[in-house]
Amino acid sequence: MSVNNEEKNIEIVESEVLETELSEKEKESVSVKSMEIPVSELLGEKTGVEEKKEPSEREKELSEKGKKSSEKKKFKLSSGALSKVFSLSNILLGLRLCVIVAAVVFALAAVNYFTSPVIKGNEEEKGNVARSALVPDATSFSLYEGDIPESGRNVSEIYVAEQNGDTIAYCVGITTAGFGGDIDLVVAIRVDMSILGIKVISHSETVGIGASALEEDAALLPQFSGLPASSVDNVTAVSGATVTSNAVKSCVEEAAVVVNALVKGADSE
């Protein structure tokens, strides 16, 4: 019996020793495990911080597209701002031009307003002087207020030259196209259809050529004095001023047709 008890006691002691050893091993394993977790976590966190992943091709492409889009937006903004600036400057320039044009037009209108009466007065004075020189024996001149015959397309006015109440001649103001521009003339024709003469009021002919042909002492105008109106074709053109000479001849012919119509109308009355 004692032997059995001793064996049992030994077994109990051994089992307790085993349990103690097992418990200590478990504690060690648990402590090791508990230490392993934070270390690994720390290592993992550290490696995550230190390691830098290289961007993929897709990410690079998206990044480049983002940069380009931002640059385009900046360019659009800048171009839009520039267009606004340019449009504003164009508006201001247009307004300035309008103001300048309006000022020029106003100035020209003012000059014309103040000078046109003077010019008209000078032309009337020239006409009066021309009529008096062409019909020196007339005692008065009166503006013809009747209808100008249809044949006088270029006739601007007609003055009736009278002597003691009797009509002795007509002074026809007429305009024709010369070589350099319009030629304004006064043609005096007696009631017997003889030409008294021609006076030049204004012209734009070339100096030294057409202008010389219109001078009173030149070869052209004196040919008409005392000539029957039906013989205008016999007038010789000035060499080098053919256009001017023919223009004057056409004026005299037209004036003669008008005066002839007025004389016939007066006779029929």
Per residue in 9-44, pLDDT tens? 555 555 555 556 555 555 555 444 445 445 445 444
Q: Is 202 inside a domain boundary?
A: yes
Q: Which residues 6+ apart lie within 8 Å of 230 measured at CB? A: 193, 256
Q: What is the band of 6 on the pLDDT scale with cuts at 50, 70, 90? A: low
Q: Is 172 inside a domain boundary?
A: yes
pLDDT of residue 236: 93
- Please state the domain count of the chain: 1
Rg, Å, the chain Cα set = 60
Q: Is 227 inside a domain boundary?
A: yes
Cα 197 to Cα 30, 186, 253, 259, 261: the distances in Å are 147, 8, 13, 14, 19
pLDDT of residue 21: 56
d(CA 145, CA 157): 9
pLDDT of residue 39: 46
Q: Is 150 inside a domain boundary?
A: yes
pLDDT digits (tens, 9 = 90+) for 143-194: 999 999 888 899 999 999 999 999 999 999 999 999 999 999 999 999 999 9
pLDDT of residue 105: 93
Please name the residue that has the structure tokens 């006739």. Answer: 155
Q: Is 241 inside a domain boundary?
A: yes
Q: Which domain holds residue 234?
A: 135-268
pLDDT of residue 72: 57
pTM of the model: 0.58
